[in-house]
Each structure stands twice: as structure tokens, then as C-alpha cells.
Amino acid sequence: MHLFFWREAWRSFQAHRGLALTTVFSLAAALALAGVFLLVSWNAGQALHWIGDRREMIVYLNDDAGEAQVQALQAKIGELYGTSTFVSRAQAWEEFTTQVGDPEILKAVGTNPLPASLRVRLRPALQNFPAMSECAKQLEQFPEVEAVRFGGEWVQRLDALNAGARRAAVAVGLIVALAMVFVLHNTLRLAVLARRQQVEIMIKLGASDGFVATPFVFEALLETLAAAAVALLLVFGLQQALAQRLDGVTFLPLEWIAAFVGGALVLAWIASAAALGRILRTVGA
Amino acid sequence: MHLFFWREAWRSFQAHRGLALTTVFSLAAALALAGVFLLVSWNAGQALHWIGDRREMIVYLNDDAGEAQVQALQAKIGELYGTSTFVSRAQAWEEFTTQVGDPEILKAVGTNPLPASLRVRLRPALQNFPAMSECAKQLEQFPEVEAVRFGGEWVQRLDALNAGARRAAVAVGLIVALAMVFVLHNTLRLAVLARRQQVEIMIKLGASDGFVATPFVFEALLETLAAAAVALLLVFGLQQALAQRLDGVTFLPLEWIAAFVGGALVLAWIASAAALGRILRTVGA
Amino acid sequence: MIQFEHVTKRYGERLALDDVSWRMNEGERVCLLGHSAAGKTTLLRLITHETQPTSGTVAIGTLRGGRLSRAHRALLRRTIGVIYEDFRLLGDRSVFENVALAVRISGHFADSDVIPRTLRALEEVGLHGKQAALPGELSFGERQRCAIARAIVNRPAILLADEPTGALEPRSAAEVLALLGRIQQEGAAVLLGTTRPEVDDAFGGRRIVLEDGRLREGGAPEHAFMPLPAAQASQAPHAAPPAPPAPHTGGA
Amino acid sequence: MIQFEHVTKRYGERLALDDVSWRMNEGERVCLLGHSAAGKTTLLRLITHETQPTSGTVAIGTLRGGRLSRAHRALLRRTIGVIYEDFRLLGDRSVFENVALAVRISGHFADSDVIPRTLRALEEVGLHGKQAALPGELSFGERQRCAIARAIVNRPAILLADEPTGALEPRSAAEVLALLGRIQQEGAAVLLGTTRPEVDDAFGGRRIVLEDGRLREGGAPEHAFMPLPAAQASQAPHAAPPAPPAPHTGGA
Ligand SMILES: Nc1ncnc2c1ncn2[C@@H]1O[C@H](COP(=O)(O)OP(=O)(O)OP(=O)(O)O)[C@@H](O)[C@H]1O
Ligand SMILES: Nc1ncnc2c1ncn2[C@@H]1O[C@H](COP(=O)(O)OP(=O)(O)OP(=O)(O)O)[C@@H](O)[C@H]1O
Ligand SMILES: [Mg+2]
Ligand SMILES: [Mg+2]
């Protein structure tokens, strides 16, 4: 019996090619917008992650800390907080030189007043302001440590930005999703409305609701599948174009694609079933 | 006669309330997405502008430049490049102190080796890398000027980011616009298809193409207007929600709103006329 | 089998059926005669439960009265074949598919039975040469034949025929009536609604007459059903003054 | 006024009209008799230019042959009133609006004329009590009356009536035929297509007969148009053996 329904769906698709293509195009447009949003979200997420990676903590060491002590400290930090790199006094002076850039000033300084330090790249879980200040406090307890510095304000701002961006993404994403549901639902509803008479006659012939609805739902799923494919192609094209200009713009990962297509199909299922249910109730006196 | 067409459009809107509402919702969804895109673009543009405002050039002055000379220089700069603020040697030292943050280092320096400087905020037209380096070259010719510095690499990067963002916006905007055109066109096409029989009968009665099409086009315009209003309300809601979290998120300016509604109406006109033209050609044997 | 008890049907103000009681047995042949707007189609629609009586009960077989569930209504309709006065063919399916759809919906027949059954029904109404045509490509009479084929293809227990020869010339009409008679003789109950006494005469069977929504069983054809006036001289002015014809539509 | 010269119309393989030549004068009354699928509707559709002849020319008034532009076709149709066999009413407009639309489309009448003209036409067909109903709320006969009202409301120069009494009982049919006769006497050319000889007889006028797409002017009714066989005894087995009826549809 399933074969019959698929045949019916295909027949209807062919008989109303104009209607079907129109539906596919509308759905593809809506899905492409959703896809663009996903692409932007994905890449923004990646970028924020990458910025987050740069968050580090600088542990200034006592001048009298020996090499062995420093290595023990590094091992302990590796265990508890994350990877660390050693920056000797000479390296620190060199960096300072390039940072300041003005040789006049450096000449005035004369000797190197800078301490050696460890640059700690924290584990992702610790990359937020409360965790970082807690870490800093703990590290300052070690005898080898003179002081700990991290861009406290800067980290706080980044946290706020991150949270803001996430909220904005959720808000925009909600609108995109809602818009997509609307377009999906309404497009399928219009497609069903255009065949209202057919539904009416089939009901008069004694067809059960399932018999009437199944081919429509199948057709809606086919159309949504086609539309999702078209939409993904468009989004892929956009990604390719962007990648040429902006380094590091990558395409959606497979799981996101699967979720996208799956979500569209589920929505199409619900939307077409709902549209049909309504028509069946009003038509099938 | 116009009155008749408006009445017809209104009658049709009422008689097919389901169809009309479905159409309005679909259009509103598509337009809302376009509106969200506009909102994001507008605010991103504002943000970039604001970042651009921060681009400044530092003109280091000779230690022997007198107050009168500096003021003359400032007047000349104001005329040619933009506004400038004077930073004395003492102020520069103070800033340096807070920047370095580590009192140990400063103690080692002892005397203040920093020169006085002018901070120049360039006119917007000059805020890009080529113009800035040209300015720098010119300023270095003045006898009072010791050296000119600006974040050359940083400015270049910002320029690239700006260009990239603009290209991305154009690409995404194109997709959004295309998607909207598709949804608009197809939704109106479906709405017309659902009334195909009516068109057929009117043609059989000898109605001219204009007589048949005008009420449909009027109805499409009415629906699009309603949809645009709904979409703007949604976008306004989004902006209000975002403004509470992210400072400085503002609503679209009036001209953008007008362009948005006008564009939607023009698109609706074209789309519905095209859809009708096609149906009239196929139906009206 | 079919039983109406004091059935009244109003459409808003309009009284379409007024306290109608009658019954029809299994395998019976009944002709429902009535002028236009008398309520024939309304009576048939009550049988198929496309509409509900305002008062009274309609019982079909074991399904009796009240509002049936959607599933029960569908079940009922699968046991009834209806020739609609306006045919109600699916415009986007070929003649063959229109008829085959009814077979598929009935669910009584195996997939392999669908094609031969459909072809036989089309042959019975003389449409086998047109099976690939869409309804829009048929003449009006051919469309009516298609509607007949769809109604009889499942050999339903009850066959409702609403003016089934309205679009046919006398010879074809006689053939169709003969076909319906044959189906009745095979055991189906056939109820034929018509405005034309000559169809009633040709079909035979028990006659019930509807007049403005009221039932008169076995009544003789009334004045409304007189044959048309004799041919008028070609192009000659009319004898009758051009008074507006008396309306047959009002009168609740 | 209407002139067919060697008109042939094919639908793919099917020969619907075969070398038909005839003419009809202004104000003439003509009855087009033919069995189902004889080609009557095809002939009428050629007059309204809903379809093009495969060969030959169709001339209507001063519009002669070839493909007319869309604007010319629209103009032509505004001078013709057509009663379609399947009515073609707008299902989403009331009876009144359906008829008024034709007045508006014609463009001949001032806005203030639309309402009285429409009401008069509805009265002429006896539908004035139903002006607010949608076509779906009418009986089949009432729908046909509405179609008639729409066709005559503009008092067209040419009136084409395709089985205009198919859904009406004899008395109403006679009234409608009388109405059409009156319109013809007011000066319109009326062409009435029907499968029923008794309608032809009642309407009068010149008779032309179509048989399988070929024209026979003024021919006597042929065997196909014999009256229905006499009443059969109620429930009695049929005298005729249940041979399938001869198809009337094939035969290109
Ligand atoms: N859905 C409806 N809403 C309102 N009135 C209706 C509806 N259906 C039918 N009527 C009215 O009920 C009356 C009976 O209609 P019905 O269709 O039963 O007549 P009928 O005997 O079948 O006539 P015909 O031979 O013309 O088909 C008519 O006056 C009609 O206008
Ligand atoms: N659009 C079409 N495509 C293909 N064949 C058609 C088309 N329209 C009509 N025909 C065929 O042409 C023949 C004549 O049809 P037409 O409608 O003219 O008959 P008619 O005399 O009006 O019959 P009826 O009394 O049944 O309405 C029929 O065999 C019909 O099947
Ligand atoms: Mg009826
Ligand atoms: Mg015909």
C-alpha cells in the first residue's frame, strides 16, 4: 500500500508541476535563509572559540626561582589549569622592546627590570571571568609566584560580548525558525488549498482521512527534501564565495546538516499534516 | 472604476480569508527575515563606523617646539586632516604608567623620556590605509614634528575586515533578497493558482486581462502592505529586546523603513503581475 | 435498509424537506420524482450523511441516526455508489484513474483486480475508448458516463443516481437506465432521482414524488410534469404573452 | 452573422467536427440537435473562439477567421451570451454577484444600471428569491437558471445555449424555452444545442443536426432520437438481454 501512496505523491507532483515547483522554490528560499543563519552562527561560534583560545594568564616568577622549581610549577599547572610556556627575562625584554617600538625610551631604561614569567593557556572550562580570578588567587599562593595577571576587565568584556552574541543569536535564530515554520506551513497550506476540491471528492467517495492525507504528506516531504537540497547547495555556494575573502569560513559540519534536513522534514510533516487536518475537518462534512 | 477594483480586492480578501491570511503570514515571515537582515546590517554599519572613529594618528613633537608653534600646527592640521588633541609630556608619562601597570619597571626608568604629542582624529574620508600613510608622510615634513605613528598594520587589518564584512553583507543580502523575491512571487502565485478557475470564467465572459488582473494585484499589494507592517513590528520587537542586552542597538532609520516597504510593494506588484500574466496566457485560450 | 423517520431539513430559513418518512428495502428499485428544487438532492445527501437532518432520524442499514464519526461516515460511503448531478470528477486525473480511485478507496479488491474492474465498468458505460482522457477533454455526456462508471464499479449495495441521464440523448439514456436496472437485479438497491417523468416511466420501480419538500408516495405525475408543449411554428411569435415565468424556488 | 466554411476540428486523433459549413443570420432562431459527443459543444466553442478550427474558417460578424488577439477575443465574447452545459458559475460569489459581474464586464451599462438589470434578469429566470445564495447552496436546476440569467442579462446580439434545460423539469424547461424565444424575438440570434428532440420541438426554429461531427441541415430526427422505451413493469426483469450498450464515443 505504501507503494501506492508514493506513486500517488509522484503523480500529483507531476500533474501539478507548476504548483509543486512553486512550493519547492518557496521552501528552498525559506530553508536557504535558515541555512545562511546556521552558517553565520557556526562560523561566529568558531571565531569566538578562537578568540577564547587567546585568553591567557601571565604568572610572574620570583627572580630567585630556580629552573627545577619552575619545571615543578609548570607540571602542577599542567595538571590543574592548562598548558604553560616559559618566558625568560631576556625574552620578556625583547617582547617589551618590540611592543614599545621607540628606542629612545628603552635607552633611558638601561637595565632589564622585567621578571621571567609563565604564559598559561587555560582549559576551555576555565575560560571565564569567575574561574580565572579563582585560578589567579590559587596560583599566587605558590612561593615561586611573584604575581599573577590576566586581562580581568578584558575577559569580563569578552564574556559579556559572548553572552550578548549568544542571546542575539538565539533571538535572531528564533525569528528565523519561526519565519521558516510559517513559510513552510503556509506554503504547504496553499498547495493543499489549491487542491481542496480533490480532497472534497475523495472524502465523498468514502476515503479515510489517512488515505487522503498520506499522499499529500508524502508529497510535502518530497518537496521539502528537494528544497533542503537546493538550500544547502545555495549555502555551500555562499560559503565557498566567502571563504575566498574571509579566511577560516568553513561549511556546516555533518551533524548540523543532518539536523537541518531532519528538522525541515519534521516541520514539513507537522505543517502538512496540520494543514490537511484543517481542510479535512472543514471539507469533510 | 478604481473603486470597483478596490471593492473587488476587499471582497476577495474576505471571501478567501484563509487564503489571504496564509498569504500575509508567509509574506510577513519572508519580510521579517529581510528586516532582521537590514537591522543587523544597519547596526553592524554603525558599529564599524564607531570603530573607525577610534582610528587616530599620533604626531610626536620636537621637545623644542613652543606653545605658539604647536597651536599653529594644530590649526593647520584642523584645516587639512581633522581634529587634534594635545598631549603634554607629563600626560604621556601618566598614560604610560597606567599602561605598563608594573611600578617596579617604572622605578627603573627614573626620568620621563616621553615626548609631547598630538592625537589626530582624521576626517572619515581619510580613515583608510593609503590615505593615512600619505597624511603621515606630509605631516613629517613639518619642522615641529619629530615623528608620526599610526597603527599601520592594524588599520590595514581593519580595512580588510571592513571590506570582507561588506562583501559578506552583500552576499548574504543578495541571498536574503532573492529568497524574499522567491517567497513573495511563489506565495502570490499559489494564491492566484488557487483561484485559477475564477480567472478562467472571467476570461470566458469576455473580461479584458486588465479587468481580471487589477483586483488581484490590488489584493496582493494590500496583503504585502499588511505583511510589511507585521514584519516591521517583529523587527522592532527584536531591536527592543536586543537593545536591553547590547548597548547601542538602534532601530532602522526612516529612510530604510520607507525603502523596505516600497521595495516590498514594488516586488509584490511585479510578482503578482507576472504570476497573473502567466495564468492569463495559459488559461485564456 | 434505508429508513427516514419524520425527517426535516432546513437550510437557514429555507425548508428543503418537510417531515419526510419513507423506507426502502434491500435490492429495491425506487424512483424519486420531483421538480427542480423539490429536495431530491437533499434527500440523497442525507443518505450519504453529507448533511445532517434538522430533525428526525435517518437510518442506513445498521448505522442509525445521530452524528456518525468521520470513520463511520467514510465506511458508509464506501458501501454506497453515488452518481452526482454535477459529476464531481477529479479534473486532474484521467477517466481511468477517476474510476480506479473509487476501487482503491473501497479497499474491497486486491491490487491486481483494480485494472480489470475499472476497464469493465468503463466498457459498461461505453467509455473504454476514452480511458486516457481527462474529464475536461470529454463531452458533457461522456463525463456523465464516467461518473456512472465510478458509481457502479464497486457494485455497491446501494446506488444513488441523481439525474443520471441529464446529459444524454434518449437512446443513451435508455441504455444507462437498462444498466442501472441490471445492477438492481444483481441485488443492489437503486434510488434514482429525476425531474423527468419519462425517465421515471422508463426506469420503472416504485415511484415516490417530492413536491416542495413534501413526500407523496406513488403519486401520479402532477401538472408540473406535463410533457413540453408541442412544437411552435418556426420563428413565429409566441402565443403566450411574455409574462415572467412563475418562480419555483421560494416558499419555505 | 455566424459563418462556418469547411470547418474541421480535431482533438489529437479524435475528429470532433468534419468539414462543417453553415451560416446563421442576425436574429435567427436555430436549434442544433445531436447525440452526446456529436460535437455540439465543440461547435459552440468555435463560435466563442475558445478553441481554433484545425482547418476552415469561422467568421462572426465582422471578425473573420484566423487567430484573434486576446483583446479582440474578449471584445467578441462580450457580445455573446453563453449558457454553458456545466454552468461555470463562480463558486465564491453569490448568485447576484455572478450575474452582476457579467454586466460589469460587458462595460455597456452605467454603474447605476448594474443592480436593476441584474435583478430583472434574476426575475426572468425566477431566481430573485435566491440572489444572496452561493452557487453551492442552490439546487442543480437553480444553478442552471443562474447560468441562464448571466447569459441573458446583457441582451447579447448572439445567445448560445448549450443544453439549457438539462437540469429542469418539463414545466420549467418550457418556461426557459419561452424566455429564450422572447429574447430571439427582441432581435438576438439564438443558437440552442441539445440532445433532446422534444426540446428542439418545443423551441422551434430552424433545425440543424450533428451526427458524429458531420452536419445534416433540417434533417428529420434520426433513430438515435426515438423517445424512451415505454414504462417497464415495476421490478420486472428486463426484456432486453444485458448486452453492453453500443458506444457512442469512438469512431474518428
Ligand atoms: N447548502 C445549501 N444551503 C442553502 N440552501 C440549500 C442548500 N442546498 C440546497 N438548498 C436549497 O434547498 C432546496 C432543495 O434543494 P435540492 O438540491 O435538494 O433540490 P433538487 O430537488 O435536487 O433540485 P434539482 O433537481 O434542481 O437538483 C433548494 O431550494 C435549494 O436552494
Ligand atoms: N478538449 C478536448 N480534448 C480532446 N477531446 C475532446 C475535447 N473536447 C471534446 N473532445 C471530444 O470531442 C468530441 C465532441 O465533444 P463535444 O463536447 O463537442 O460533444 P457534445 O456534442 O457537446 O456532447 P454532449 O452532448 O455530451 O455535451 C467528444 O468525443 C469529446 O470527447
Ligand atoms: Mg438536485
Ligand atoms: Mg456538450
- Top-confidence residue, D208 or A169: D208
User: What is the architecture, at CATH level 2, of domain C1-79+156-252?
Assistant: 3-Layer(aba) Sandwich (3.40)
Mutate to test the pocket of ligand 1, among C42, C52, C88, C196 (most ligand atoms within 8 A of CB): C42
Same domain, B41 and B164: yes
Confidence of residue D242 (pLDDT cuts 50, 70, 90): very low
Does ligand 2 come within 6 angstroms of the Cβ of C11? no
Q: Is D223 a residue whose pLDDT tops 70?
A: no
Q: Is C234 a residue whose pLDDT tops 70?
A: no
Q: Is D94 a residue whose pLDDT tops 90?
A: yes
Question: What angle (nearest 5°) sits at the alpha carbon of residue D98, between those of residues D93 and D101?
Answer: 115
- How far is residue C113's CA from residue C125's CA, in Å, rounded to a whole number? 19
- How far is residue D53's CA from residue D82's CA, in Å, rounded to a whole number? 19
Confidence of residue A226 (pLDDT cuts 50, 70, 90): very high
Same domain, B115 and B18: no
| C contacts of D122 (beta carbons < 8 Å) | none
Give 10-residue mean pLDDT values along chain B (285 residues).
Answer: 74 76 82 82 73 69 83 85 83 72 61 78 78 83 81 65 70 73 74 80 92 86 92 89 76 92 90 83 70
Same domain, A46 and A168: yes
Atom of ligand 1 nearest to the CA of D139: 17
Domain count, chain B: 2
Burial class of A23 by CB neighbour count within 10 A (0 to 12, 13 to 18, 19+)? buried
Same domain, A179 and A280: yes
Over residues A57-78, the pLDDT tens digits come to 788 888 887 888 888 888 888 8
pLDDT value for D251? 38
CATH of the domain at B73: 3.30.70.3040
Same domain, B168 and B44: yes
What average pLDDT does range A184-203 have in this prediction? 80
Confidence of residue A271 (pLDDT cuts 50, 70, 90): confident
Q: Which amino acid is at A84?
A: S
Please, what is the end-to-end C-alpha distance for chain D in angstroms? 30
Question: Predicted ipTM?
Answer: 0.79
Same domain, B15 and B44: yes
Over residues A83-105, the pLDDT tens digits come to 888 888 888 777 767 655 566 66
Nearest to C196 by CA among D138, D165, D83: D165
Ligand at shortest distance from the CA of C40: 1
Min Cα–Cα distance to chain B from D143, Å: 15
Min Cα–Cα distance to chain C from D146, Å: 12
pLDDT value for A230? 93
Instruction: Report CB contact under 8 Å: D92, B284.
Output: no
Same domain, B180 and B246: yes
- How far is residue D24's CA from residue D206's CA, in Å, rounded to a whole number? 10
| D contacts of B284 (beta carbons < 8 Å) | 70, 73
pLDDT value for B131? 82
Q: Are B57 and B135 in contact, with CB atoms under 8 Å apart? A: yes
pTM (2 decimals)?
Answer: 0.79
pLDDT value for D127? 93
Same domain, A112 and A39: no
- How many angstroms is it from D2 CA to the middle of ligand 2? 21
Confidence of residue A257 (pLDDT cuts 50, 70, 90): very high
Over residues D152-188, the pLDDT tens digits come to 999 999 999 999 999 999 999 999 999 999 999 999 9
Q: Is C15 a residue whose pLDDT tops 80?
A: yes
In order of A53, A121, B243, C203, the CA distances from A78 in angstroms are 16, 9, 41, 101
- How far is residue D49's CA from residue D58's CA, in Å, rounded to a whole number? 9
Atom of ligand 1 nearest to the CA of D130: 31
Confidence of residue D193 (pLDDT cuts 50, 70, 90): very high
Q: Which residue of B has its CA nearest to D110?
A: B1
Q: Is A248 a residue whose pLDDT tops 70?
A: yes
Q: Is D2 a residue whose pLDDT tops 90?
A: yes
Q: Is C215 helix (H, G, I), strand (E, B) or coil?
A: strand
Mutate to test the pocket of ligand 2, among D4, D17, D35, D41 (most ligand atoms within 8 A of CB): D41
Same domain, B110 and B40: no
Among the partner residues B105, B110, B191, nearest to A190 by beta-carbon distance: B191
Same domain, B209 and B89: no
Boundary of a domain, candidates B126, B149, B172: B149
Non-local CB neighbours of A160 within 8 Å, separated by 6+ positions = none
Same domain, B121 and B261: no
- Which residues span the domain enclosing A228? 2-51+158-284
pLDDT value for C175? 94
Burial class of C71 by CB neighbour count within 10 A (0 to 12, 13 to 18, 19+)? exposed
What average pLDDT does range A224-236 have in this prediction? 92
Confidence of residue C216 (pLDDT cuts 50, 70, 90): confident
Boundary of a domain, candidates A101, A126, A149: A149
What average pLDDT does range A122-127 have in this prediction? 77
The domain ranges of chain C are: 1-79+156-252, 86-155
Confidence of residue C249 (pLDDT cuts 50, 70, 90): very low
Boundary of a domain, candidates A93, A128, A149: A149
- How far is residue D100's CA from residue D94's CA, in Å, rounded to a whole number? 10
Same domain, A138 and A24: no
Q: Is D241 a residue whose pLDDT tops 60?
A: no
pLDDT value for A151? 65
